[in-house]
């Protein structure tokens, strides 16, 4: 873990690479959240499209980890459709390492307002039989379909580690050159087994 953290810190010393990492994490995390929330709410892409006023192909595009043309208004519509709030803020680069480790169901699935224990005291709090503990899944990039998200089996693959986007250099285009995931031990996404979506 320390070796990977040191390698990422070294990569982040380069300004272009730093922004490629930051953009890749944001794009992949938003796409993963949309897919995880849609699945959690038992919505098809077509049903979600109807709720936010777009086509099914638009939702499919939003769920691609390499999508980067986010519009605040679309994100607001998605938040409303999922019954959650939208939070946008500027961050220090030091928070990037934690965000790269955050592709777990408990981070991807904020509860609907009516299920939030702050507003409904009869709702279970995090860690009480929901999220990662219950499903054993995280969302990662598909090894067979670049830009597509799939569920990965954490029990077999991570053994307590975390899933990180593996994008090193964006070159002149600013686009990541590699789209895969690696766990804290350096295993590539191709080794993960899909456990169903």
Domain boundaries, the chain: 2-191
Contacts for 102 with CB less than 8 Å, ≥ 6 apart = 29, 162
Residue 188 has pLDDT above 70, yes or no: no
CB 168 within 8 A of CB 16: no
Angle at 117 between CA 40 and CA 25, to 5 degrees: 50
Per-residue pLDDT, 8: 86
Q: CATH for 2-191? A: 1.10.260.40
Angle at 114 between CA 111 and CA 116, to 5 degrees: 45
Give the CB-side neighbour count of residue 101, counting CA atoms within 13 A.
14
171 Ramachandran zone, left/alpha/beta (phi>0; psi -120 to 50)? left
DSSP label at residue 1: -
User: What is the rounded average pLDDT for all residues in the chain?
Assistant: 72
pTM of the model: 0.64
Which residue matches tokens 């408990």? 106
Q: What pLDDT digit, counting tens, does each position of 71-87 carry?
A: 999 999 999 999 999 99
Per-residue pLDDT, 165: 43
Residue 174 has pLDDT above 50, yes or no: no
Give the CB-side neighbour count of residue 88, counting CA atoms within 13 A.
9
Q: What pLDDT digit, counting tens, does each position of 14-26 carry?
A: 999 999 999 999 9
> What percentage of the chain exceeds 90 in pLDDT?
42
pLDDT band at 60 (very low <50, low <70, confident <90, very high): very high
165 Ramachandran zone, left/alpha/beta (phi>0; psi -120 to 50)? beta
Q: What pLDDT digit, counting tens, does each position of 79-109 carry?
A: 999 999 999 999 999 888 888 777 777 788 8
């Amino acid at each position: 873990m320390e070796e990977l953290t040191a390698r990422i810190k070294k990569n982040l010393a380069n300004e272009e690479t730093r922004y490629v990492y930051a953009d890749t994490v944001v794009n992949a995390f938003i796409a993963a959240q949309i897919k995880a929330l849609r699945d959690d709410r038992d919505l098809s892409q077509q049903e979600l499209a109807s709720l936010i006023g777009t086509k099914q192909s638009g939702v499919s595009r939003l769920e691609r980890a390499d999508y980067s043309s986010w519009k605040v208004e679309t994100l607001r519509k998605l938040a409303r459709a999922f019954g959650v709030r939208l939070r946008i803020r500027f961050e220090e680069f030091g928070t990037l390492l934690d965000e790269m480790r955050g592709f777990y169901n408990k981070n991807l699935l904020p509860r609907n307002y009516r299920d939030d224990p702050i507003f409904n005291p009869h709702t279970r709090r995090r860690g009480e039989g929901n999220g990662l503990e219950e499903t054993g899944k995280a969302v990662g990039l598909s090894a067979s379909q670049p830009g597509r998200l799939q569920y990965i089996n954490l029990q077999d693959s991570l053994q307590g580690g975390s899933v990180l986007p593996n994008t090193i250099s964006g070159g002149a285009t600013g686009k990541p050159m590699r789209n895969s995931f690696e766990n804290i031990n350096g295993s590539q996404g191709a080794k993960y087994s899909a456990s169903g979506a």
